[in-house]
Amino acid sequence: MFDSSIQARIRPAMARAGQTLARWGCTANGVSFAGFGTGLAAAAAIALSQPLVGLVLLLLSRLMDGLDGAVARATQATERGAFLDITLDFLFYASIPLAFAVAHPAANALPAAVLLASFIGTGSSFLAFAIAAERRQLRSQAFPDKGFYFLGGLTEATETLAAFVAMCLWPQWFGPIAYGFAALCAITTALRIRWGWTSLAPAPTPYSQTPPPP
């Protein structure tokens, strides 16, 4: 919900940082892998009942996730890089609820499972629309820098990160936070299905003046 406005505000600073990293010889794919590795380290720390350590690593991971695109735009953006970025992002998002379930399975396994199921809805609707949008050559005005169509909703990257931060700060409240965010994800999925169904409707057949044959 807030991704487009936040990205517009930080875009100049991220662009400068991306240019600096490119001059230092960093590649966009290298930054993507570094961010993913840091994200997995965050999940490992959470699974070992060190949520504050996980929080620091999690925030560092998301910083690198934003910088990989900036490095790509400073050098050369590729479809392979866009594919890698979104794939690693979804794996990272799944790792955090799983880590909380590993840390305290009796209390957290069910809410983590519900949250992960809700991620299936948001992720599948997001990617399915991106495929259809590419076929129709649609372009997102809200996210012009992305490698493919980004379909928004109530739960985008900003809101997901905020939920993860809250879980790390108050791990004893993981269950209510997970259930609440899963409900928002369900609303996002429903809105995306409605939007996709409406916007991808087939074009009406032009009316013909030719009378039907007798």
pTM of the entire predicted model: 0.83
Pull the structure tokens for residue 206: 């032009």
pLDDT confidence tier of residue 15, bands split at 50, 70 and 90: confident
CB 76 within 8 A of CB 21: no
Q: Does residue 52 surpass a pLDDT of 70?
A: yes
Q: In the prediction, which pLDDT does 148 show?
A: 60
Which amino acid is present at 9?
R
Range with lowest mean pLDDT among 87-91, 165-169, 191-195 = 191-195
Q: Does residue 22 surpass a pLDDT of 80?
A: yes
Contacts of 64 (CB under 8 A, 6+ apart): 31, 32, 34, 35, 38
Alpha-carbon gap, residue 78 to 198, rounded angstroms: 30
pLDDT confidence tier of residue 131, bands split at 50, 70 and 90: confident
Q: What is the CA radius of gyration of the chain?
A: 20
Question: Would you tell me how many other CB atoms lie within 10 Å of the CB of residue 46?
Answer: 30
CB 167 within 8 A of CB 96: yes
Could you give the C-alpha distances from 133 to 7, 137, 168, in angstroms and in order?
22, 6, 36
Alpha-carbon gap, residue 18 to 93, rounded angstroms: 23
Q: In the prediction, which pLDDT does 61 show?
A: 95
CB 32 within 8 A of CB 186: no
